[in-house]
């Protein structure tokens, strides 16, 4: 008589095998799932940032345009700056700041007395200011026999003297006494775009205005009342969502000729910064009443439509 084989139940083993397979599958797929979700978030954030940058670009272009149209229609140029806060929605706003370069000192055209006035405004003592002014003249002058060379030798310049015109205010950072001065502060005093050896005293920036109250010294003869249009205008914008600054942008523009039909061109490409740490632009009190002239309700509505 044959013996029967004991009956075995393989279901427990099969269950363990299935569970093991699922664990392995989950271990393999989980990184891909996380990667896919991360990629989705990255794409979403990138699209949102691109949309905000495009919106800010449109706002800067519109801000430049309404400014030049306002000038053609008799609205004054800012003296020295114009800050406008514009509500774009219940939770959105933009702050625009215009700086007229007629109130800045041109590094390529200003005489040493006016340059020294600007450096004193930045906090240098008179002797240091005179030395840096002489170094600036020597830096921009091709003639190596310039009478400012001896005084300029007391100022160290990274890379040596250029013997050519300044292309940007940021080049002042190469001058040792100004190495620690923030570029933004330098741009509150100097420009390379006015082309004038004088400064409009009615359009001085706050830094230069404060210096003038302490005394202009030898620079007094170069502070005039030009009454003319701006040679260039710096336009900055900060875009807010609630109380947080989400994006910041800036450009420099000018108008070729006079009148509404005169072409507008950018002297500096637009630059953008996402999620800046702190706000820089501050409305002045209740805002300049001139803002209402430039940014009428229809213009404000146009700006709001740019938002994503």
- pLDDT for 45: 52
Residues 186-224 as b/e (b if ≥16 CB within 10 A, e otherwise) read bbbbbbbbbebebbbbbbbbebbeebbeeebeebeebbe
Provide the 3-class DSSP secondary structure of residue 31: helix
Question: What does the DSSP 8-state code read for residue 295?
Answer: S
Omega of the bond prior to 80 within 30 degrees of 0, cis? yes
Q: What is the bridge-based pairing of β-strands 190-191 and 105-106?
A: parallel
Q: Where are the domains of the chain?
A: 56-102+227-306, 111-182
Quote the distance between the C-alpha of residue 135 and its chain's center.
27
- pLDDT for 54: 84
Backbone phi, psi, residue 92, to 5°: -130, 145
Find out whether 240 and 134 touch, Cβ atoms under 8 Å. Answer: no
Provide the 3-class DSSP secondary structure of residue 52: helix
- pLDDT for 125: 94
- pLDDT for 39: 47
Instruction: List per-residue pLDDT tens for the chain, 308 residues long.
Output: 555 555 455 555 666 665 666 666 566 555 655 555 564 554 455 556 677 788 888 888 888 887 777 666 666 665 567 888 888 888 888 998 888 899 999 999 999 999 999 999 999 999 999 999 999 999 998 766 555 555 556 788 888 888 899 999 999 999 999 999 999 999 999 999 999 999 998 888 889 999 999 988 888 889 988 766 678 899 999 988 888 888 899 999 887 765 555 677 888 889 998 878 788 887 655 566 778 777 888 888 888 887 76
Provide the 3-class DSSP secondary structure of residue 14: helix
> Per this entry, what is the length of the chain?
308
283 vs 44: CA distance, rounded Å: 32
As given in the structure block, the two tokens for residue 107 are 């590094």
Find out whether 102 and 204 touch, Cβ atoms under 8 Å. Answer: no
SS3 for 153-186 is CCCCECCCCCCCCCCCHHHHHHEHHHCCCCHHHH
């Amino acid at each position: 008589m044959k013996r029967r084989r004991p009956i075995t139940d393989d279901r427990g083993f099969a269950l363990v095998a299935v569970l093991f397979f699922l664990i392995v599958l989950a271990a393999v797929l989980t990184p891909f799932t996380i990667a896919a979700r991360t990629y989705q978030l990255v794409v979403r954030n990138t699209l949102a940032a691109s949309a905000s940058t495009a919106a800010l670009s449109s706002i800067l272009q519109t801000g430049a345009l309404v400014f030049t149209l306002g000038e053609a229609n008799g609205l004054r140029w800012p003296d020295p700056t114009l800050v406008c806060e514009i509500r774009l929605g219940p939770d959105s706003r933009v702050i625009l700041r215009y700086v007229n370069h007629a109130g800045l000192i041109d590094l390529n055209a200003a005489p040493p007395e006016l340059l020294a006035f600007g450096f004193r405004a930045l906090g240098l003592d008179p002797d240091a200011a005179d030395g840096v002014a002489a170094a600036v003249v020597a830096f921009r002058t091709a003639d190596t026999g310039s009478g400012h060379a001896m005084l300029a030798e007391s100022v160290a310049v990274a890379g040596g003297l250029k013997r050519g015109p300044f292309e940007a205010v940021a080049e002042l950072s190469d001058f040792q006494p100004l190495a620690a001065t923030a570029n933004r502060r330098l741009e509150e005093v100097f420009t390379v775009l006015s082309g004038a050896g004088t400064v409009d005293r009615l359009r001085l920036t706050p830094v230069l205005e404060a210096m003038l109250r302490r005394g202009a010294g030898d620079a007094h003869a170069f502070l005039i009342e030009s009454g003319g249009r701006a040679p260039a205008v710096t336009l900055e914008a900060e875009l807010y969502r609630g109380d947080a600054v989400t994006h910041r942008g800036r450009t420099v523009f000018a108008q070729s000729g006079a009148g509404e039909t005169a072409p507008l061109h950018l002297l500096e490409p637009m630059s953008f910064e996402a999620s800046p740490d702190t706000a820089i632009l501050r409305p002045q009190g209740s805002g300049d009443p001139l803002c209402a002239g430039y940014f009428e309700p229809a213009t404000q509505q146009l700006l709001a439509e740019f938002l994503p």
